Amino acid sequence: MKNEITTTTSQPIGMFDNLTDMTCFDNAQRMAKALMSSPIVPKEYSGNIGSTLIAIEMATRLHVSPLTVMQNLHIIHGRPSWSSQFIISAINACGRFKPLRYEKTDTSCRAWTTDSEGERLEGPMVTLEMAKAEGWSTKNGSKWKTMPELMLMYRSASMFGRLYAPDVLMGMYDEHENRDIGPAAGEKEVNTNDLSAEIMGEDEPQIQEEVSEIKEEVVDIFEGEIMPANQNQEVI
């Protein structure tokens, strides 16, 4: 008699692609608790289950690890922003294009590549004159003053992405663009590199206490599958 092979289906890596499903949502919360209690995640996510859940959902949509999203998604003037390096790597890894190339001079740069059919795709030309006219290079602490060549490449890659792969960027600008754009009219300027006080506010002691309790209950998400939460388990 022939041996019969029985296969079992487990939840794929993209198990959190539908957070409207309660089982997915429960599992995502359990993972979020583990991630937000880790000392290696960016401080914007430490003790912040809501932001961590959003990072998990975005990671599922982009097919990358949640930690990758957390390390590369920044809040600049209240707007979510990708790091420039992430934008370039996401475009290169999406499978639609050859790796990005750059057509450069001392004062300008254009990102370009070819698609799967060999057609050349060109992004807008970015120039130092443009940076000056838009006010990007005149802001205090602007990287345009100290590393213009790198900023030209970053900005041209970001503009290419918004033209040809807006879904990969999920409609978001890169962090340098949002810094150059500045806060909205009437919005108070904040130190975007240190948002922990703004996130926690007066509730910081309570949040820290809750995080300590979560650390005692957290499971090791890197060993085996994350099973659905017990129906009687309280969901936070």
Do 98 and 150 lie in a common domain? yes
The DSSP code for 171 is: T
Instruction: Using alpha carbons, select from 68, 64, 98, 93 the residue that is nearest to residue 83.
Output: 68
Same domain? 169 vs 214: no
Please indicate, yes or no, whether residues 24 and 51 belong to a single structural domain of this protein: yes
User: pTM of this prediction?
Assistant: 0.65
Percentage, residues of the chain above pLDDT 90: 41
Give the tens place of pLDDT for each residue, 193-231: 444 444 344 445 555 555 455 545 444 444 444 444 444
Whole domain around residue 207: which residue ranges? 15-77+191-236
| Together in a domain, 156 and 115 | yes
DSSP codes joined into one string, 16-35 = TS-TTSHHHHHHHHHHHHHH
Looking at the domain assignment, is residue 72 inside a domain?
yes
* 112 CB-side CA count, 13 A: 13
Statement to judge: residues 98 and 114 lie in one domain: yes
**Higher confidence at residue 181 or residue 47?**
47
